[in-house]
Structure formats: structure tokens, C-alpha cells
Structure 1
Amino acid sequence: MGRRKLTLKQERFVDEYLIDLNGTQSAIRAGYSAKTAGQIAEKLLRKAEIRELLAARMKERGDRTAVTADRVLLEAARLALFDPRRLFNDDGSPKGIHELDDDTAAAVSGIEVLEQFEGSGKDRVFVGYLKKYRVADKNSALEKLFKHHGLYERDNKQKTDPLSELLKGLTGNVFGAGAAAAGGDEDED
């Protein structure tokens, strides 16, 4: 049995979802009621046809733009692991932008170059440039990598109360079995 074809509205939802990955707003922009957009988006995103089309379009976009999950992780790693010493020559002078290696250049979020003069009027003489590099937020990049690698989840598991975890495990295995046998399973759709 083949997959059902998506409606024009559902296809529009997919197009809108690819813009910002916000289901509720995508549903509204696709023409669904603002009042029920959250529930509609949730239902749409569970449909296999929608998920398949989203995956295909995301892959197409990744191929077209060369922005892949691997590339995004690489860029986050460049920011997170940035070493400011690489902005300087061995003598302590700042490197020019063309002298920076790719990883260091990726961490630079802005450059300000000011001409420096001494004297005034006819006696004014150019003495050099003042270079100011602004670098991306390292903590933000580290936090994103922590989340990607599940490091917060591991940390949170270490902070749980062992007694609560034991009781939770027993409730699901021992008490849950009796409740299910008695017909008390409320999670069934």
C-alpha cells in the first residue's frame, strides 16, 4: 500500500517548517488556525509522509548549501576550542587576518582596523594600524557541544536521588504489572 499524497496545505507546512523549524508558527503561516496550530503541528510532524519529505528537503538543502550536521559541529568545535594565542606572532604582535589559520579565522566574529597617527596638521604622520579582533562566544559554543554530546544528561543522572530512582523502577516493574493485570493501564490509546 503506497503512501498518501500530502495536501497543498501540508506541503506548505513543510516549506514553512524548513524556514525556522518552529511547528506552531509554520502551521499558522501555512494557513492553519492560530488557535489550534500547536496541536496541528504536533500531529503533522508525527506523520511519516511529512517526516520523509522534511528529511528529503533538509538533505537537498544540505547538499545545495554544503551546510551539513558535520559542518555545523565542526564550526561549533572551532569556536569552543579556540585558542586566543593563535591570534599573535611569536613576538607578541597581532597576526594579520590573512595569516590566521582556518580554525582561528572561524572564531573571529569581527575586526576593527584603525589607522594611527602622531602629530597634528602638517606634522601628522602615519605610524601604523590598531587591530581589534572580536571573537565569538566560546561559552555558547561549548554549551551547544555539551548538549549535542548529552553531557548535561549524564551530569543530571549523577544528581538524582538513588532512592527515588529505585522507587521509580519498582513502580514501573512491580506495581505497574499489578495495575495492568487489573485493567488499570491508562497510557493505552
Structure 2
Amino acid sequence: MVKLTEKQRRFADEYIKSGNATQSAVKAGYSERYANTNASKLLQNTTIKSYIDGVLEEMASKRIMQASEAMELLTTIARGEMEETMYIGTSDGVITIEDKKPDINQRTNALKEILKRYPIDREGKERLLQAQADKATAEAALAKNKADKLTQSGKVNELLQSLLDVKSGGDGSG
């Protein structure tokens, strides 16, 4: 730890609060005359400067979230462990929903943010792309299957039939 006199420590602490060297010197107990001419020299003192830098760095580390803390927070969201209280305004007043867990979109977004920080190798990227292609193919097949079933069972409603007629050049009257 940096060794300062009590007066130097008071000056440094006051300077951290106010950012004004002259006022800080006076509050620390230096005479106004000395403060007016030598306050900037106090800031150039390597011992005082080192103390101020150390305190400011410590303050910043307490206020600023570190990467590990951010990852922990994202992980609790992605796992659905975090809960929040929601307030919904209605005509009858405010409804409070306590212990609401993250919905699927919030959890997915947290997972995406986590995965951005973990590079995947070329093989992993290829597997991911193949899985996405397989998913798209399966969704297209399902949509086609549903459309075929609706058409074959005669459940195509009148509006859809009218649209089909118009598209094929009919007048839509049936």
C-alpha cells in the first residue's frame, strides 16, 4: 500500500470526490496560499498520484461488471433460473405477477449472447449449418403435407377457393 501522510491522504480523498485540486488542498488542511500555488504539484507527487489511481481503479472495478459476472447473469437467464416481478396496468388497477421466469425468447437471446463468446471450429459450423438446413427442409415438408391434406379433404374454404379462382383467371364467383 502507498504510504501517505494524513494530510496527503485527505487531499487525495477530497480530490477524488471533487476533482478540484485547490479546494481539495484547502479541505485537507493546507493553507489557501499554499493551495493556490502548489495544489497542482501535489497531483504530480508520484505517491499521491499512485494512491489516487489505485482508489479510482478499485472504484471502477466495483461499479463495472466484469465479463465473468456478465456470463453468470446470462447463464441464469438462459437456464430460466432468474425470476422477475411484472406489473401490468389494467382498467381495474395494477396486476402484479411475481416470480415470472424468462420466456423462451429471453432464454434464446441469452444463449445466443453466450455462444457468441465461444468460437466453434469449422466442423462445428458445418454441423450447425447442416442442422439448420435439415430443420428448414423438415418445416417445408410439414407445410406441404398440411396443404395437401387440406386440399384432399376438401377443407379449402370459400375465400381461399375464390383467391385460387382469381389467380387462375376466373372471376371468383365460384
TM-score by length of 1: 0.32
Q: Which has the higher helix share?
A: 2
Rg larger in structure: 2
Q: Which is bigger in relative contact order (C-alpha 8 A, separation at least 6)?
A: 1
| Structure-2-length-normalised TM-score | 0.35
